[in-house]
Amino acid sequence: MPARKDIFKKALLPCALLIVLALHALLVDVGWKGSETKNQYKVVPKLNLPLMKFVSLDQDRFASLLLSLYLLSAVPADSYEWDYNGLLSYMRVITRLDPYNKGPFFFAVYYMSYRTDSDGRLIFNYLEEAQDKFPDDWKLPWQVSYVAKIKFKDKDLAYHYALKAAHSPYAPPIVKVLPATLKRNLGDKESALAYLTTLRDHSQDPQELKAIDEELQRLSPVSLGK
């Protein structure tokens, strides 16, 4: 009898979950790509976290993965027309089903490139949650820094995320010196020099020291005096 229950849980429950999420995929297709509210933005289908935990039948990580795939497949070229409040709610359910699922955070960076209004900036709040969950990840804050600089034209925010990326123990040398590069481009060469000097004092990696020295050469006394 226990063996039958084990087979049911490992085989039949995932199948049942697939059916439930297949129905949800239809909702995504209809709600995401066709429905509109009275506002100017398209509806994003709502997910209820307790309900999703119930229907996932102890397969939370599997459900989170499938919902991430639905999220990815629903990406239209006009995603800038979505209701970002609904989008964030949807992604938070996915990451709360599986706290180790990084997918929605990287999706969020992609969506940020479409809208730079006040609603678009809401995604930055969601990305702060990623820093708490993945403090050693450098790729996500590095990409966010790029989007903040290029799309939002927010140099202070770009520097904020560049620092987060640089503080990761696994960040490559080019990312380690990125905050100094941003400060130099802003004309704040003194801050760039202070950052690089501190970084050099605490670095023992040959490649990192090389990158620091190359950046320091761009901050020569001649250029600092300009």
Closest of 203, 150, 144, 145 to residue 178, by C-alpha: 145
Model confidence pLDDT, tens digit, residues 97-141: 998 898 889 888 888 777 788 888 888 888 888 888 888 999 999
pLDDT score, position 36: 45
Model confidence pLDDT, tens digit, residues 176-209: 999 999 999 988 999 999 999 999 998 989 999 9
Closest of 192, 145, 147, 148 to residue 168, by C-alpha: 145
Q: Would you state the structure tokens that stand for residue 137, as one six-digit string?
A: 């990840």
Collapsed DSSP state (helix, strand, coil) of residue 82: strand
Contact yes or no for 168/134 (Cβ under 8 A): no
Q: Please name the residues in contact with 140: beta carbons below 8 A apart, sequence gap of 6 or more.
A: 102, 105, 106, 109, 127, 130, 134
Contact yes or no for 43/74 (Cβ under 8 A): no
Question: Considering Cα of 25, then 83, then 80, then 42, what sign does the dihedral take?
Answer: positive
